[in-house]
Chain A
Amino acid sequence: MSTTVATASRPTVATRPPSALRIGLSRGLLELKMFFRERDAVVFMFALPPTLLALLGTIFTESFQGTGVSASQVFAASMIAGGIASTTFVNLGIWIAAERDDGTLRRLRSVPMPPSAYLIGKIVLVVVTSVAEVAVLLAVGVGFFDLQLPATAQRWFTFGWVFVLATISCSLLGIAVSNLARSARSAPAVVNLPFLVLEFISGVFIIPITVLPNLLLSVGALFPLKWAAQGFRSAFLPDSMTVHEAAGAWEHGRIALILGAWCLGGLLLCLKTFRWRGRRDR
């Protein structure tokens, strides 16, 4: 073995460590590889929101009077928010709980990885999977449920910022919720309860949102999913549909404000609560 060679080649000058961005992008590629190699998980995760959309869109076929908009169009627009919540909140929540359980995070703590590189890797994962999920939902919505793609640049702009803010805020909440799971095994149960409840009270499964009792409406309005779904409806549906919103308006200012606040609050929550160790490590 080349013991002497190795000794001779030990660098005597300190070399600059690789940047957080470089390590982060490398982590992002690795995360994507790991993610897409879990073939069954990938297929089912991507298929869940479009399947729900197909079911709801087939079962509820009536139109909203005086608007010409069908229930399935409303589901198709709202389900985009549900799809993003699934690739961000659900997927990250379960994924990171598993990383805490299987020792990934302990290993990462043992190597010179800037914490920001970990976050960059997760951003790459979440952006790629969320874009793919939204593309699938748009294809199903447009192909089967008469969803109209935004007709104006302004509506595309709305779609864009709602997508960005929804992805960030729901990702951060996913990272935070991963702390609640004690093990990889319990993570799906822990993450799915709040996810499903929010889908019901945020105007994703139940439309129009105004049929919800006031209490549930108010609880749903505390979380980002309700505002993301409303934002997507505003990008895809005619303005005549505002009568079926809780406030009778699209409320773009409020959507931006609340999603933005969750981005900030979610970041603080993550910084405050993120644990590199599992509970079983004491």
Chain B
Amino acid sequence: MTAIEVHNLHKTYGAHPAVNDLSVTIEDGEVFALLGPNGAGKTTTVEILTGHRRRDSGRVEVLGQDPQKADLGWRIQIGVVLQEVRDAGQLTVAEVVRHYARYYPSPYQPDDVIARVGLSDSAGVRLLALSGGQRRRLDVALGIVGRPRLLFLDEPTTGFDPEARRQFWEIIRTLRGDTTILLTTHYLDEAEALADRVGVISAGRLVATGAPAELGGRADAPAEVRWLDGTIPRTVTTADPAGAIAELSRRYGGTVPGLVVARPSLEDTYLDLIGDVPS
């Protein structure tokens, strides 16, 4: 089944096109990362898909409904983790999670959710006193407490230190399978670590979609084969590196001196993709 279907989505702020002819399909159970630099249109896209913002044109279906016209029954199935919420400072973690569980017909046990995001030791702490990372985990707890079929995570780890990010990724991994996840990020390694598929967005356009390993035709992109001919470095670029090595191997009678085979890294591919779009 399809969780999200977007066709030719457009959204403009004044003269500035934030989302430009974006189409994407996300299947049930998938973890999909919308990857792109700041200002590429990630948040706008998420806001449109979650019914927070109206689109200019295009067709959008999320869990079979148009988010602009969706009802509470639809919203019950959706979890949203927004950016920059600093609410309810005077309440404790446990009070807030328990409260938000009451909006749903069949929520998870609040205490289980608190444990799942690793906040059990802070359950009695007021939100004002939480660190940035703890606050983000609480946001995730509130996003999942209603047992969503589909979870939106908007830049969940921006501003984290590397260790906090890794811990956060573990939390997201435990949600796999239960929940379809659409996350936005401008971190390449985050998309690679978490997502089944990545959509690269740049200047409001989706410029490539695929599994991280295959992104931008990376799997069958021409590879560079480098070796030393005496002291002179030689390079051939070929779609068939194995054939090239077999040929060199025959020429040198076994070991090829200084042999290196290189494919474009994900980072090369990504920079290539977002650089392709005129801004």
Contact = CB atoms under 8 A, between A and B. Distances in A.
Interface centre among A14, A110, A114 (most CB of B within 10 A): A110
A106 B82 contact: yes
B165 interface: no
Contacts of A18: 102-105
Interface residues of B, number: 35
Interface stretch (B73-81, B209-217, B222-230): B73-81
Contacts of B103: 17-18, 23, 111-113
Contacts of B169: none
Contacts of B100: 111
A104 interface: yes
B128 to A, nearest CB: 10
Interface string B39-76: 00000000000111000000000000000000011011
A112 B76 contact: yes
A110 B82 contact: yes
Contacts of A23: 102-103
Contact of A3 (B13, B91, B177): B177
Nearest to A99: B87
Contacts of A15: 105-106
A17 B73 contact: yes
A41 to B, nearest CB: 10
B210 to A, nearest CB: 26
A17 B101 CA distance: 11
A23 B104 CA distance: 10
Of A10, A11, A111, most B-chain CB atoms within 10 Å? A111
B90 A10 contact: no
B146 interface: yes
B72 A112 contact: yes
Contacts of A185: none
Contacts of B105: 11, 14-18
A34 B178 contact: no
Contact of B95 (A22, A30, A106, A114): A30
A47 B103 CA distance: 35
B87 A104 contact: yes
Contacts of B86: 102-103
A185 to B, nearest CB: 13
B146 A11 contact: no
Interface string A79-91: 0000000000000
A55 to B, nearest CB: 31
Nearest to A27: B99
Contacts, number: 94
Nearest to A113: B103
B75 to A, nearest CB: 4
A121 to B, nearest CB: 11
B261 interface: no
Chain A interface category by residue count: 20 to 34
A33 interface: yes
A26 interface: yes
B218 to A, nearest CB: 30
B200 interface: no
A103 B104 contact: no
Point out which of A26, A99, A112 has the most chain B C-beta atoms below 10 A from its C-beta.
Answer: A112
A103 B82 contact: yes
Contacts of A14: 73, 105
A23 B146 CA distance: 14
B84 A103 contact: yes
Interface string A107-141: 10111111000000000000000000000000000
Contacts of B176: 3
A7 interface: yes
Contacts of A33: 90-91, 95
A17 B104 CA distance: 6
B239 interface: no
Contact of B90 (A22, A34, A106): A34
A272 interface: no
A6 interface: yes
Interface string A145-162: 000000000000000000
A1 B170 CA distance: 10
B87 A103 contact: yes
A23 B106 CA distance: 14
Given A11-B105, A37-B91, A102-B85, 18 more contacts: A1-B174, A3-B174, A11-B106, A14-B73, A14-B105, A17-B73, A17-B76, A17-B105, A18-B104, A34-B88, A34-B90, A102-B87, A104-B87, A107-B87, A110-B75, A110-B82, A111-B100, A112-B75
30 contacts: A3-B178, A6-B108, A10-B178, A11-B105, A15-B105, A17-B103, A17-B105, A23-B102, A23-B103, A26-B102, A30-B91, A30-B95, A33-B95, A34-B90, A37-B90, A102-B86, A103-B82, A103-B85, A104-B85, A104-B87, A107-B85, A107-B87, A107-B142, A110-B52, A110-B75, A112-B73, A112-B146, A113-B103, A114-B72, A277-B52
Closest 4 interchain pairs by CB? A103-B85, A15-B105, A110-B80, A104-B87
